[in-house]
């Protein structure tokens, strides 16, 4: 048998309870939908990582053993790499152009000349 509970509340209080319940449900629904659309972190095998970076598997093992590669995840004897971490690692390795280095040097020298006077 279904249990039924009757409570006596003023209409204003009942409206407040209903609004709070609806808002709570909507808030939970938004949080769940965000997690559904966020892609999970993609882990790559050593072969996939080598292909992505255009490096040999041996080079990846060497870089891993030297601690040069980020986002490494060990599972038993296998190595997995975070795709996002590898992409960021490549971007951080960007070399500055000659004009960028020259501009930084000029800025540094001009700032230090002001301090010497």
Domain ranges of the chain: 43-92
H or E, element range at 70: none
Q: What is the DSSP letter of 82?
A: E
Percent of the chain predicted with pLDDT > 70: 79
Return the residue matching tokens 């204003």. 12
pLDDT of residue 47: 93
User: pTM value?
Assistant: 0.49
Task: Determine the 3-state secondary structure of 87 from DSSP.
Answer: helix
CA nearest to 49, candidates 88, 94, 93, 80: 80
pLDDT tens for residues 8-17? 777 777 777 7
Looking at residue 116, its pLDDT comes to 54
CA 17 to chain CA centroid, nearest Å: 38
CATH architecture of 43-92: Orthogonal Bundle (1.10)
Note the pLDDT tens digit of each residue in 84-113: 889 888 888 777 788 888 998 988 888 887
pLDDT digits (tens, 9 = 90+) for 32-81: 555 556 567 788 999 999 999 999 999 998 888 888 888 777 777 788 89
């Amino acid at each position: 048998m279904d249990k039924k509970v009757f409570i006596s509340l003023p209409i204003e209080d009942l409206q407040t309870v209903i609004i709070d319940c609806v808002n709570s449900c909507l808030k939970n629904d938004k949080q769940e939908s965000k997690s559904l659309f966020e892609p999970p972190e993609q882990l790559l095998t050593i072969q996939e990582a080598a292909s992505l970076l255009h490096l040999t598997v041996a080079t990846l093992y060497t870089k891993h053993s030297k601690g040069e590669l980020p986002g490494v995840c060990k599972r038993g004897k296998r190595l997995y790499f975070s795709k996002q971490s590898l992409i960021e690692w490549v971007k951080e390795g960007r070399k500055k152009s000659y004009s960028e280095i020259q501009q930084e040097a000029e800025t540094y020298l001009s700032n230090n000349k002001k301090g010497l006077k």
